[in-house]
Structure 1
Amino acid sequence: MINHNGDLTNNDTILKTTNRGFAYGDTLFETLKVSYGKVLFWEDHYFRLMASMRILRMDIPMNFTMEFLESQLLATIQANDLEQATTRVKLSVYRHAGGLYTPEDNGVGFIIQVWPLASDFYLFNDAAYEVDLFKDYYVSPSLLSTLKTNNKAINVVGSIYAQENTLDNCLLLNTNKHVVEALNGNIFLVKGNDIKTPPLEDGCLKGVMRKQVLDVIEKSPNYVLIEDHVSPFELQKSDELFITNVITGIQPVSKYRKKEFDNQVAKDIFQKVNTLIRLTS
């Protein structure tokens, strides 16, 4: 079952061709992980969604409180008999139909979809994981690139490229030829005690797991956090690379071209993030 504007239904054909998400990509979404009724990092997801709606000049309904939207997430999970499981949840917010590029109405609707996950917890995956650069198209270093919209053509084409070349993931570049992020998460580079990640100004996604990792690194006396441009030449000089998103947590990269990487720092950060989750549960 899905949740369409608060109505739980089995009808998965509710969107019309006039829906602005379909017609113009005029939709924001949040991908969340919910474990046994607890929405992980819900406050961060909620405030990112609200900020993104303001940037896209969507009207925020008075009832779009943290409590209301969380109750809708949990109601959808319960309707799918998944309250005793860990789920992947997609909360999409779309602008009302009408108009061409210029909307007739800045009001919004929402859809919530849920899927069960195989694992209840974040598990550290140290299996082989190879990445390379995707250089066919580039990310714009702008505020819009930091939002989770359904304008994801570069991620789709990049994912097909990765599949065709037997890669586990690809790294995206912006128009300034700086490394921005992976296809499905933020990228971190480790060199000695320094941990570096691209700044939001370069066009990387304002990831929720990125925020947790930044907080952990900043509080750790063992590491120095650097938010700065990342050159492709830095990748092979790094000791470690790892990718972050809220579903996987932290994914260490084992190989980039001819360079193979360790994962000890990624494992340490991973453990610290898991401790943070337990403390806030």
Structure 2
Amino acid sequence: MVIINKEFLEEQNAVIPYDNRGTFYGDGVFETLRCYNGKALLFEEHYFRLMSSMRILRMDIPPFFTPEFLEESIHELLFKQGLHKNHARIRISVWRKSGGLYTPNDLSVNYSISSSILEDIFINVTNNEVDLFKDHFVYASMLSTLKTTNKAVNILAGIYASENDYDDLLLLNQNKMVVEAISGNVFLRKGDQIKTPPIDDGCLNGIMRTHIIKQLKKMLNYNFVEETITPFELQRADEIFTTNMIRGVQSITKYRKKSYTNETASELIESLNETFFD
């Protein structure tokens, strides 16, 4: 079951116009939320990022698009799907209404909310080999920090990873600095210092990224900085991990001939599970 513009529809009946601007021009944004027992984790942060993204893209925000409305819609969809007592994934997609070429005729929007089951609590991986994706770059700008429906670089990186038996790839910006992974932000630890690329480098302004940064700043055994990561640092790092809302924290176990530990990632995963699922 899917919600499209307030209407609950079975998936086979959930159709949208062929000329919708999300597919014609990538004129849309989305949020992916993790839910547990019928509630979205860090919902307020997701809501405000969605509103901010819509404003930046000059979309008209419907008056009914309140936190209460979206939270209730999510809860009702999970209940109808029988997922209100499970771990679940929610995607909210927003795209501008059809009409116009590059310049839209109408700044108002359509939206959908879909759900799917997740298996369990946050669990770290035991094998996660990566490499650099050099075919295309993330161009650092405000738009690159948003979750838009224009994700060509991530898609092509995913295809490259699949064709070359990598579990993930690290994306570079136009200055050939490491900015993120295919589906998450990246953190690097060398000794007791942990760093992640600043938003200005072009990485996604991730909700889990922000949460993990707050957690790291409370941990007295680490010094945390937001600082550009060069590809040369990857070989010298003791640990590298990625973050996103669905998987939490995932260790990178191997980059080329270098293998990494996972102690910080394991510590963070334990903290996340205690915070959200205990």
When the two structures are superposed, what TM-score results if normalisation uses the length of structure 2?
0.97
What's the CA shift string for 1:12-41, capped at 9, x where partnerless? 452112211011101100011111112111
Aligned partners of 2:145 and 2:199 also within 8 Å: yes
**Inter-partner Cα distance in structure 1 for 2:202 and 2:273:** 27
- Cα deviation for residue 273 of structure 1 reads 2.7
Offset of residue 75 of structure 1: 1.4
How far 1:276 sits from its partner (Å)? Answer: 3.1
Give 1:122's aligned residue: 122
Q: Which runs of 5+ in 1 are unaligned?
A: none
CA distance in 1, matches of 2:103, 2:13: 27
* Alignment partners' CA distance in 2, 1:184 and 1:190: 19
The alpha carbon displacement at 1:180 in A equals: 0.5
Query: What is the SS of the residue equivalent to 2:91?
Result: strand
Structure 1 contact 209–244 (Cα < 8 Å) conserved: yes
- SS of 2:103's equivalent? coil
* Distance in structure 2 (CA, Å) of the matches to 1:17 and 1:38: 33
Cα distance in 2 for residues equivalent to 1:122 and 1:13:
31
Name the residue aligned to 1:72: 73
Provide, for residues 201-234 of structure 1, a one-character-per-residue CA deviation record: whole Å limited to 9, x for no partner: 1110111110110010112211111111110000
**Paired residue for 1:273?**
272
Q: Sequence identity, in percent?
A: 47
Instruction: Answer with 150-159 or 265-274: which moved more.
Output: 265-274
Q: Which residue of 1 aligns with 2:242?
A: 243
Is the counterpart of residue 217 in structure 1 residue 226 in structure 2?
Answer: no
Are 1:24 and 1:101, in contact at CA under 8 Å, matched by a contact in 2?
A: yes
* 2:232 match: secondary structure: helix
Q: Is the 8 A contact 1:147 1:205 kept in 2?
A: yes
RMSD, aligned α-carbons? 1.2
Counting matched residue pairs gives 277
Q: Give me the whole-angstrom Cα distance separating, in 1, the residues matched to 2:143 and 2:275.
A: 30
Q: What CA deviation, in whole Å up to 9, does each residue of 1:89-117 have, x standing for no partner?
A: 11001111111111111111110111111
Equivalent position amino acid for 1:263 in 2: N
Q: Contact 1:33/1:246 (CA < 8 Å) preserved in 2?
A: yes
Shift of 1:81: 1.8
> Are 2:68 and 1:63 aligned?
no
Equivalent pair of 2:133/2:172 in contact (CA under 8 Å)? yes
Per the alignment, in what secondary structure is the counterpart of residue 242 of structure 2?
strand
State the match for 1:98 in structure 2: 99
* Residue matched to 2:83: 82
The 5 Å alignment of 1:26-37 reads 26-37=27-38
Q: Tell me how far apart the structure 2 counterparts of residues 114 and 246 of structure 1 sit (CA, whole Å).
A: 15
Contact 2:157 2:169 in 1 (8 A): yes
1:115-147 residue CA offsets vs partner (Å, 9 max, x unmatched): 11122x11233x111000000000001010010
- Find the aligned partners of 2:115 and 2:14 in 1 and give their Cα distance: 16
Q: Indicate conservation of the 8 Å contact 1:216/1:273, yes or no.
A: no
Could you say what secondary structure the match of 1:229 adopts? coil
Gapped regions of structure 2 (runs ≥ 5): none
Aligned to 2:7: 7
- One-letter amino acid matched to 2:226: E
CA drift at 1:268: 1.4
Q: State the alpha-carbon separation in 1 of the partners of residues 13 and 149 from structure 2.
A: 18
Map 1:155-174 → 2, pairs under 5 A: 155-174=154-173
SS of 1:270's partner is helix
Q: Give TM-score, length-normalised by structure 1.
A: 0.96
The residue type paired with residue 19 of structure 2 is T
Alignment of 1:136-155 (within 5 A): 136-155=135-154
The farther-off stretch of 249-258 and 217-226 is 217-226
Partners of 2:47 and 2:215 lie apart in 1 by: 20
Question: For 1:109, what is the secondary structure of its paired residue?
Answer: strand
